[in-house]
Amino acid sequence: MAILQILQYPDERLHTVAKKVEKVDEKTRKLVRDMAETMYAAPGVGLAATQVDVHERIIVLDISETHDDLMVLINPEILSASGEQLGEEGCLSVPGIYETVRRSNNITVRALDEKGEPFTVEAEGFLAVCIQHEMDHLQGKVFVEYLSQLKQTRLRAKLKKRRREAL
């Protein structure tokens, strides 16, 4: 297994649109294992392949406190969405920044698991937030893009300053 490097916003590569996985094979499963290890080590509750600079539609998630409930979503598709919720979000690609985002409260998602078997998951609340957050990454979208332009400009300045001081 291996811990992968997570791209940091603003990085152009975070805006790449991921491609469908054509065949779930041993290479896919190795990436899934490395993504899970990277997510648990961070620690985070989810990780999209985009964040480790692999532009394929692959997500790992685990919102359990015990880190023993891994969910793998390959080629996820939202079949239905309803309701609204506001929640504080963070992102491993934008460390230390937490902002409120409006999301659907209930979603039904169809995806393939790591064996290539299709399954459907009904998610609500925080799990639904996480799945939507990760699916955005696969479309090249980072949660801060939901903020006002003014907030985004201030955020980029803050991250630049932080990076300067970290050197």
Answer for which of 109, 130, 138, 159 binds ligand GNR (CB under 6 A) is: 130
Q: Helix, strand or coil for residue 150?
A: helix
Adjacent-strand bridge partners of 89? 99
114 phi/psi in degrees, rounded to 5: -70, -10
Dig out the tokens for 58 from the structure.
């692959």
Closest among 82, 111, 101 to 141, alpha carbons compared: 101
Cα-atom radius of gyration of the chain, to the nearest Å?
A: 16
Let me know if 134 is a catalytic residue.
yes
Catalytic residue among 26, 134, 145, 165: 134
Position 94: which residue type? V
Choosing among ligand GNR, Ni ion, none, which partner's interface includes residue 89 (Cβ < 5 to 8 Å by kind)?
ligand GNR
Which of these ranges, 66-74, 83-91, 122-130, 148-156, lies near Ni ion under the rule CB under 5 A?
Answer: 83-91
Q: In the range 8-67, which residues lie near ligand GNR by CB under 6 A?
A: 44-48, 51
Minimum CB separation of residue 1 from Ni ion in Å reads: 21
**Site residues for ligand GNR per CB under 6 A:** 44-48, 51, 89-93, 129-130, 133-134, 137
